[in-house]
Amino acid sequence: MKFLTDRKYALVMLFFSMAYCYLTVSLEADYDPTKEKYFPFFLSVAMIILSVLLFIFPSQHKNTWPKGQQLVSIFLLAVAILVYSLSLAHVGFLVLATLLMGVCMWVFGATIKWIAPVSVAVSISFYIIFDRILGLNLPTGILKFLF
């Protein structure tokens, strides 16, 4: 039995489907179709069946995961977004957007001399457009003393 990539995915799918199934079964209601347990439970069972089916009938899909430099870039971008999300309220939009823009530009191949000025410019313009002109609220964070 060849262990095609689809079969590996089927196992992962099975794991998640069973986890979801467990969650649906733990809901308090009964299995009356008009109540809130039936539909998600049905979904989870269907997903389990599909996982098994994929294991039995895998397609010829081939993997093309990124390697090396590309993987590093993706990881950096993900971390940058995560840091942005977690600290937005405390550090504020201007600082974080500049940093995020800088990381993005670097990851997408910009030369060093452009990164700093463009990041600052973009972050300030976005702040002006979105916070001042459009009236949407972007947190000021640690730069509060400037406003």
Partner 1 sequence: MDGFVVAFSGTNMMLVVIGCFLGTVIGMLPGIGPINAIAILFPIVLQFDLPPSSALIFFAGIFYGSQYGNSISSILLNVPGTSSAAVTCIDGNPLAKQGKAGPALAMSAVASFIGGTISIFLLILLAPFLSKLAIDFGPAEYFVLMICAFTALTSFSEGSFIKAMFSAFIGLAIATVGIDELSFGGTQRFTFGLLELDDGIDFIVVVIGIFAVGELFLFLSDKANLTKEKIIPLGRIYLTFKEIKDSFAGIIRSCITGFFVGVLPGAGATIASFLAYNTEKKMAGDKGNFGKGDLRGVAAPESANNSSAVGSFIPLLVLGVPGSETTAVMLGALITLGVRPGPTMLVDSPEIFWGVAASMFIGNLVLIVLNLPLVRLLAKILQVPKWILMPLIAILSIVGVYVINGSEFDLILMLIFGLVGFIMRKTGFPIAPLVLGLVLGGLIEVNFRRALTYSYGDFATFYESPISLSLWLITLFSIAAPPVFRFFRAKMK
Chain residues that interact with partner 1, rule: CB under 8 A: 5-6, 9, 13, 20, 23, 27-29, 32-36, 39-40, 43-44, 46-47, 50-51, 53-54, 57-59, 61, 63-66, 69-71, 73-74, 77-78, 81-82, 84-86, 88-89, 97, 100-101, 104-105, 107-110, 114, 118, 122-123, 126, 130, 134-138
Shortest Å, Cβ 96 to partner 1 = 9
What burial letters (b/e) apply to 26-54, b meaning 16+ CB within 10 Å?
eeeeeeeeeeebbeebeebeebbeebeeb
Who's near 142: CB < 8 A, 6+ residues apart? 90, 91, 92, 95
26 or 144, CB closer to partner 1?
A: 26
If you search the block for the tokens 């269907």, which residue do you land on?
A: 46
26 or 147, CB closer to partner 1?
A: 26
Shortest Å, Cβ 70 to partner 1 = 5
Residue 61 has φ and ψ, to the nearest 5°, of -60, 135
30 or 144, CB closer to partner 1?
A: 30
Using alpha carbons, list the distances in angstroms from residue 96 to 62, 101, 137.
Answer: 38, 8, 15
